[in-house]
Amino acid sequence: MKDGEVLPPGSTIGILGGGQLGRMTAMAAARLGYRSIVYAPEAHSIAGDVAVAHAQGAYDDRAALARFAAQVDVITYEFENVPEATVAECARHRAVRPGTKPIHFAQHRLREKEFFRESGLGTAEYQRVASDADIAAATALPGILKTCTEGYDGKGQARVGTREELAAAWHALDRRECILEGLVDFRCEISAIVARGLDGRSRSFPIGLNDHRDGILRTTAVPAGLPPEIQATAESYGLKLAESLDLVGLVALEMFVTKDGRVLANEMAPRPHNSGHWTIDACATSQFEQLVRAICGLPLGAVEIIAPTRMVNLIGEEANDWARYLAEPMARLHLYGKGKARPGRKMGHVTYVIPPKRSA
């Protein structure tokens, strides 16, 4: 595939990673007539269940990656913790969209925050913590101490109020390089999901209003019901980020809205995002179809809301209530095909589509 070439239906998309985001991407691709091949270290994956093939291989196996790349026309990734070196190796053989730049920043929280500020996005106060001297000089307190790499859904972090607590938390995190983020007196949490195509044109999905519990997203509501100026700022942040990354694909930006009306960038993910799952049932184009359109060089789809909606994650044993959700007329159930339910594990989601009121 040549850079900038449009890939017609019938082409094959390679997906690095075998989780639910890859699964839903492969399903969206199939609806448009594309084939998908999943590459993951595991012998079986839930994404591979709905793709034409599952290629098993380590992320550092250059020969296996080359064989995988030879079978596909373009490559994307379904989570941002695929090693940067893996993406670079794949890019030697096929176009990877998005490429290494987005994960270079998304995989390291300090680099990510610095990139936000360089791109003109506001952030909370933050500081690097990698030594006793950094702890002695810390001013972003009270705050959240987070490892710079790895960690998700609340893992690899601790809330601290004093330098003594900061020191103890840093030692508990094995004295790894960390970032201390000052606590934000926020009104709510929101997210923007932006797609950017090969032609450089971008589209932002409507802003989602998010509710997290124990570090895990529980619900997303759209429309967000926020003042127009706040939503405009949030959308502009997402569009700025996609442009700064020179992105071809999809990027999600999670943000805080403070009680005094400021919008602060928190984290990004250069792939489909949990807070965008509502788009499958209640948007003109789903985030997964939009990703396929972007990486294959197709025109981006419309992003209008079909109906107000609320997406609820099904965590652990909650997915066992599938019969109840199926019985609810306005509920749209999505189960990911995972085997064992564990506490904190995302097993599926349900989207409640709110029908318009009929006039008398």
- Do 31 and 292 form a contact (C-beta atoms < 8 A)? no
Q: Is residue 107 part of a domain?
A: no
User: By C-alpha distance, which of 198, 156, 182, 187 is closest to 294?
Assistant: 198
Q: Is residue 3 part of a domain?
A: no
Q: Is residue 37 part of a domain?
A: yes
Q: Is residue 360 part of a domain?
A: no
Residue 57, pLDDT score:
98
Query: What is the mean pLDDT, run by run of 10 residues, along the chain of 360 residues?
Result: 79 98 98 98 97 98 98 97 97 97 96 98 97 96 94 78 97 96 96 97 98 94 97 98 98 97 97 98 98 98 97 97 96 96 95 76
What's the domain count of the chain? 3
The secondary structure of 327-348 as a DSSP string is: HSTTEEEEE---SS--TT-EEE
Note the pTM of the prediction, 2 decimals: 0.95
Please indicate, yes or no, whether residues 255 and 344 belong to a single structural domain of this protein: yes
What pLDDT, in 10s, does the model give residues 25-46? 999 999 999 999 999 999 999 9
DSSP state of 109: H
CATH number at residue 243: 3.30.470.20
203: phi then psi, degrees, rounded to nearest 5: -140, 135
What pLDDT, in 10s, does the model give residues 187-199? 999 999 999 999 9
Domain that holds residue 62: 12-96
Q: Is residue 204 part of a domain?
A: yes
Report how far Cα 36 is from the mean position of its chain's Cα atoms. 20
User: By C-alpha distance, which of 2, 15, 27, 7 is closest to 90?
Assistant: 15
Q: Is residue 193 part of a domain?
A: yes
End-of-domain residue from the set 182, 208, 223: 182
- How far apart are alpha carbons 307 and 164 in whole angstroms? 50
Please indicate, yes or no, whether residues 225 and 289 belong to a single structural domain of this protein: yes
Please indicate, yes or no, whether residues 281 and 150 belong to a single structural domain of this protein: no
Q: Given its phi and psi angles, is residue 278 left (phi above 0), alpha (psi -120 to 50 degrees) or beta? A: alpha
Helix (H) or strand (E) holding 324: helix 322-327
Q: Is residue 129 part of a domain?
A: yes
Report in angstroms the alpha-carbon separations of 208 from 88, 196, 225, 276, 301.
32, 19, 9, 8, 18
- How far apart are alpha carbons 239 and 300 in whole angstroms? 14
* Distance linking the first and last C-alpha atoms of the chain: 56
Please indicate, yes or no, whether residues 260 and 327 belong to a single structural domain of this protein: yes
Report in angstroms the alpha-carbon separations of 141 from 115, 182, 184, 213, 329.
22, 6, 11, 22, 48
Please indicate, yes or no, whether residues 67 and 129 belong to a single structural domain of this protein: no
Residue 5, pLDDT score:
80
What pLDDT, in 10s, does the model give residues 88-110? 999 999 999 999 999 999 999 99
